[in-house]
Amino acid sequence: MSDLTEPRIPAITAPPPLARLPMLQLILVGLQHVLLMYGGAVAVPLIIGQAAGLSREEIAFLINADLLVAGVATIVQSMGIGPMGIRMPVMMGASFAAVGSMVAMAGMPGIGLTGIFGATIAAGFFGMIIAPFMSKVVRFFPPLVTGTVITSIGLSLFPVAVNWAGGGSAAAQFGSPTYLAIAALVLGTILLINRFMRGFWVNISVLIGMALGYVLSGAIGMVDLSGLDNTPWFQIVTPLHFGMPEFHLAPILSMCLVVVIIFVESTGMFLALGKITDQEVTPRMLRRGLLCDAGASFIAGFFNTFTHSSFAQNIGLVQMTGVRCRSVTIMAGVFLITLSLLPKAAYLVASIPPAVLGGAAIAMFGMVAATGIKILQEADIADRRNQLLVAVSIGMGLIPVVRPEFFAHLPLWMDPITHSGIAMAAVSAVCLNLMFNVLGGAGRAAMSGHVHQH
């Protein structure tokens, strides 16, 4: 019997523990999570703010608003409050899946920021309605599909790590020996700590590597703190700062499609975390996680920010440090909320040079891909058709990474799918698994059921 008709019985039902670390270690590991995802968290409001022609002060407000919502959503997702929250170590932040659509909206007459916020609210509400139905798709993600999608997540993140390690995509001397040396120092420090040390030091190896890289970057003049004196110490994010949200049909439909893509991406990330934390992700857990994604987007529109989703960048950190308790990401959420209220502190975090982030990201994003490869070992990967599924799906996932303009002549409404390597890989893997294993006859179905038993 295939996985579609006989879903697996969860082996573990209790959520990962809330605390098992001393407070100092909890703080340091939580800070690691924030430093790793901070660049991605602020990139979306930065891009949309610039597209909307906002002033530097208004863009700074957008960033603080995003940090606030990301912090609250991270705590809810990790802790679990009411019907929301998957209760695993998940970091939340503004989703890149909607950037293309929102940049287009920002330039549309009569839409602008208030139209984007209205579409975000409507899409979040739509997501909360469909989350119970989307949560049932976990049966379409046996190890063959899950491993393929998670491998694609890691591979699709690698260009970000490479751009950072080379000094940032906007660097005048991209790939200069200075940038490469700093990235190598950070990566080498992480590797040496993991090779020669144990326990506490391994848990904070990324933080130590980034701290050394930051100190060296500051010593040679690569850390830019200009404007720090003009940044206020304290600022409260107020809702509806840019005015009442406006609701227009076309932007709402576009953002609703984005939410579906976010759900597909989040499903892959939740399943990856389930494997890392030795926890079976049940449909009920998935529903709670997707409800939190949608709820965060719904609230985000009122608090001057955008659609939110789980961050793939932090999955590798959970795997590498081995710290799987939810308290770490809850602490990271507290840090994000604090940064949203203290613009000077947020400014200091934002001053970390891209090369420092790149050295850590090479290890982190590689760990995501390695997790996917490990999961694929549970499937019958020796079978030629399964090999073809993996090959084609990973290839489809890399198309938007290698040539983002590859689908430029397709309809605009398809952008959220065609510009997301994770979504492309997931759709391809699910469809090919249906064709090869589920609809491929009783023999194939029996083989698929045998492979997926635990």
pLDDT at 12 over 50: no
Task: Give the tokens for residue 159.
Answer: 């260009």
Distance CA(432)–CA(278), nearest Å, equals 27
At residue 299 the predicted structure's pLDDT band, cuts being 50, 70 and 90, is: very high
For the ranges 5-14, 270-279, 392-401, the lowest mean pLDDT is seen at 5-14
At residue 395 the predicted structure's pLDDT band, cuts being 50, 70 and 90, is: very high
At residue 297 the predicted structure's pLDDT band, cuts being 50, 70 and 90, is: very high
CA 284 to chain CA centroid, Å, is: 21
Angle between helix 354-376 and 23-51 (nearest 10):
110
Which tops the pLDDT comparison, 335 or 172? Answer: 335
Average pLDDT (330-336) is 91
> What stretches of 212-287 adopt beta strand conformation (E)?
none
Average pLDDT (377-381) is 83
Looking at residue 254, its pLDDT comes to 76
Average pLDDT (356-385) is 82
Digit-coded pLDDT (tens) for 130-179 = 988 887 777 777 888 888 887 887 787 788 788 888 887 777 888 889 98
At residue 241 the predicted structure's pLDDT band, cuts being 50, 70 and 90, is: confident
What percentage of the chain reaches a pLDDT higher than 90?
16
Looking at residue 23, its pLDDT comes to 82
Instruction: Provide the 3-class DSSP secondary structure of residue 282.
Output: coil
Looking at residue 50, its pLDDT comes to 65
- CB-based contacts of 129, cutoff 8 Å, min separation 6: none
Looking at residue 442, its pLDDT comes to 44
pLDDT at 128 over 90: yes
pLDDT at 71 over 90: yes
Looking at residue 264, its pLDDT comes to 78
Average pLDDT (378-403) is 89
Do the Cβ atoms of 35 and 349 come closer than 8 Å?
Answer: yes
pLDDT at 6 over 50: no
pLDDT at 99 over 80: no
Distance CA(315)–CA(327), nearest Å, equals 15
Q: Spell 366-376 as b/e; 16+ CB within 10 A means b.
A: bbbbbbbebbb
Please state, rounded to an integer, the average pLDDT across all residues of the chain. Answer: 80
* DSSP structure class, residue 171: -
Which tops the pLDDT comparison, 301 or 324? Answer: 301
Which tops the pLDDT comparison, 199 or 240? Answer: 240
The angle at the Cα of 297, spanning 275 to 109, to the nearest 5 degrees, equals: 135
Average pLDDT (115-124) is 92
- CB-based contacts of 120, cutoff 8 Å, min separation 6: 98, 245, 255, 297, 298, 300, 301, 305, 306, 307
Handedness of CA 38, 40, 46, 52 (dihedral sign): negative
Looking at residue 158, its pLDDT comes to 81
At residue 452 the predicted structure's pLDDT band, cuts being 50, 70 and 90, is: very low
Task: Give the tokens for residue 230.
Answer: 């003009």
Distance CA(87)–CA(395), nearest Å, equals 32
Q: Quote helix, strand, coil % in the chain, to nearest 5.
A: 70, 0, 30
Nearest partner of 286 among 121, 449, 94, 139, judged by Cα: 139
The angle at the Cα of 73, spanning 427 to 430, to the nearest 5 degrees, equals: 10
Distance CA(214)–CA(221), nearest Å, equals 10
Tokens 């909206």 locate to 105
Looking at residue 126, its pLDDT comes to 94
